[in-house]
A = this chain, B = another copy of it.
Amino acid sequence: MTETLKKIFKEKGVSPSYTRMRIYYYLDDCKTHPTVDTIYKELIDELPTLSKTTVYNVLKLFVEKELVYEVNIGTNEKRYELVIEKHSHFICQVCNTIYDIPYICRPIDEDVIPGFEIIDQEVNLKGICPNCKHKQITT
């Protein structure tokens, strides 16, 4: 497993320090699009000398090396996720949780915006997640 990750890092030109690997594993594990602060708090027990600067450094490197995406959907803090299969996001307007959902893609009629070169499209859904919906009903 560690070997697999070392290989991934090597392919992207990232040297496999323990801290970097640990942060990568955390992202792989949590599926919650965590903020820097969350990552820091989750790992500080295990890596007592960890600093937020290091978390910032590592994430910046990961983003540059295309191991990680910055997810930016109207929250103050940046959120991060591993670069995996392309997908869309559902943001719960009650608890602010971001859920990964299958990628939604819209055919764009190029005539509608002539002259624009479309490189990427992103569909974000907003609404209420099952958890919060359940709470609303039961309270």
Contacts and interface: CB of A to CB of B under 8 A. Distances in A.
Contact of A128 (B72, B74, B119, B124): B119
A-side binding surface: helix, strand, loop or mixed? strand
Given A99-B113, A120-B127, 18 more contacts: A72-B73, A93-B119, A101-B116, A102-B112, A102-B113, A104-B108, A106-B106, A108-B125, A117-B127, A118-B125, A118-B126, A119-B126, A119-B127, A119-B128, A120-B125, A120-B126, A122-B124, A123-B123
Contacts of A133: 115, 117
Interface of A: 70, 72-74, 90, 93, 99, 101-102, 104, 106, 108, 112-113, 115-130, 133
A116 B127 contact: yes
Contacts of A124: 121-124
A132 to B, nearest CB: 9
Contact of A70 (B74, B123, B128): B74
Contacts of A117: 127-128, 133
Contacts of A104: 106, 108, 112
Copies in the complex: 2
6 contacts: A115-B130, A116-B130, A118-B127, A120-B125, A122-B123, A122-B126
